[in-house]
Amino acid sequence: MTHEMNHYFTDFQKFQNNGAAKSPAWVNDLRKSALADFEQKGFPTTKQEDWKYTNVAPIAKAQFAYSSKAGMVDPEFVRSLLVEGIDQFVITFVNGHLSPEHSTMEGLPAGVVVKNLIEAYITHNNLVEEHLTKYVQYQKNTFTALNTAFINDGVFVHVSAGVEVTKPIALLFISTVNNGEQTASHIRNLIVAEDGAIVNFLHNFASVEGVNTNLTNVVTEIIAKKNSIVELVKVQRESESAFHVENLYVHQHRESNVHIFSLAVGGAIARNDMSVIIDGESTECNLNGLYITSGEQLIDHHTFIHHIHPNCPSHELFKGILFDKSRAVFNGKVYVEPEAQKTDSKQTNRNLLLSDDAIVDTKPELEIFADDVKCTHGAAVGGMNETHSFYLKTRGISEGSARGILTVGFAAEATQKIRHEALRRHVDGIVVDHLRKKFGTGNLPDIVHG
């Protein structure tokens, strides 16, 4: 343990005294054990392979206080985070705490539970205990250990067997202005889709406009049981001075179908770890994403797909657009066990550098122990394609407009992977708005898909 970590232990005491000790004993035991792991592991340094390109020293050095309450948020702002033009269920957390006034759960179908974790400890203790932390390895990840030590609130979703939730569920995580006091929100989400369940999520992480140098440290566990279909679209657009870390753990049972999309445009440092265990035959896994960085932002995606069983396709497409002196990291690990024959794994990472000073570190990591598999990977880092740009110019389009149009096209190829139409439109809108700001022109096309 280093002295930089001291305050987490004082905070833990405060957290315990402030009511955390009232949680079920198993939760509190979990916290204590995770705190010990956090103490033992400490914050990662760039000497560790998994953190080679992402220096979290600014996070380690900051004295983030435990955020003990929600804050006030303008309802207009909350509305701006929702999916336009459709009905949806909404559960909102402000600084990691449930905000009932900004949550709408009316009309949830029978067999569907969406509530905050604190309440679920009481109403669904057995289900929560059965799954919580069963898929994460907090011993191996400092941020997951820290999150688990401060495990308190977040969302619990349970979709019973055979139930299709036709409206998407929007989970809003809002961080407010911190006025100099840096706080940490340790958000914990647990999503269980039983056999044959179908459910779509929007995870929207946003900061209220203003100074925000907070840490949002999220752990999300998704359990997709046999034949279920889960789509999760994550939008991370926190303040460009904030810190964001999410560890996503997905456990897939046979014939389940999981689609994850990560749009990351916020954060001074943002790290997304996505880990998928394919624990059943004929399972389909799709991890896709788009990151847009500018200024001195650093956005990092680390993915890990563990193929244990045969006949499973897994597809990954991550694209990046980099402005200014920003940096991005993509590391895609695929591990294919000897039994996982007929694995069909495809990984692509493509990066568009719009500045000479932007840097991308991209690394595929394939470990294959089965002999009858199809595993491909490809990574590309480059500037604007000259031939594409030439095509536009021969139609009279200027250099500047051509760059904008082609950048939108580059982004659209990623967002195309989102299956839920309204969610895709939502993301497309955010992407184009963001690019308009970065290019400093309203003259960019809205995205259409074929």
Partner 1 sequence: MIEIKNLHANVNGKEILRGINLTVKAGEVHAIMGPNGSGKSTLAQVLSGHPAYEVTQGSVTFEGQDLLDMEPEVRAHAGVFLAFQYPVEIPGVSNSYFLKAGLNEIRKSRGEEELDSMQFLKMLKEKMKIVEMDASFINRPVNEGFSGGEKKRNEILQMAVLEPKLAILDETDSGLDIDALKIVSAGVNKLKTPQNATIVVTHYQRLLNYIVPDFVHVLVKGRIVKSGGKELAMELEANGYDFIREEMLQSA
Burial (0-12, 13-18, 19+ Cβ within 10 Å), 17: exposed
**How many C-beta atoms lie closer than 10 Å to residue 86's C-beta?**
15
Q: How far is the CB of 389 from partner 1 (least distance, A)?
A: 9
24 or 445, CB closer to partner 1?
445
Q: How far is the CB of 405 from partner 1 (least distance, A)?
A: 6
The CA distances from residue 432 to 205, 364, 439, 448, in Å, are 18, 29, 10, 11
Q: How far is the CB of 317 from partner 1 (least distance, A)?
A: 12
C-alpha triplet 116, 191, 258: angle, nearest 5°? 150
The CA distances from residue 411 to 218, 221, 236, 272, 414, in Å, are 26, 28, 16, 19, 5
Positions in the binding site for partner 1 (CB under 8 A): 386-388, 390-399, 401, 405-406, 408-413, 415-416, 428, 445-450
Q: How far is the CB of 299 from partner 1 (least distance, A)?
A: 21
CA 409 to chain centre: 23
The CA distances from residue 448 to 14, 31, 408, 413, in Å, are 51, 47, 10, 10
178 or 415, CB closer to partner 1?
415
Beta carbons of 89 and 114 less than 8 angstroms apart: yes
**How many C-beta atoms lie closer than 10 Å to residue 372's C-beta?**
9
Q: How far is the CB of 338 from partner 1 (least distance, A)?
A: 38
Side-chain-side CA neighbours of 165 within 13 Å: the count stands at 33
Q: How far is the CB of 385 from partner 1 (least distance, A)?
A: 8
368 or 405, CB closer to partner 1?
405
59 or 414, CB closer to partner 1?
414
62 or 397, CB closer to partner 1?
397
205 or 261, CB closer to partner 1?
261
Backbone angles phi, psi at 393, to 5 degrees: -65, -35
**How many C-beta atoms lie closer than 10 Å to residue 416's C-beta?**
15
Q: How far is the CB of 311 from partner 1 (least distance, A)?
A: 28
Q: How far is the CB of 167 from partner 1 (least distance, A)?
A: 26
60 or 397, CB closer to partner 1?
397
24 or 400, CB closer to partner 1?
400
Helix axes 399-415, 421-439, angle to 10 degrees: 150
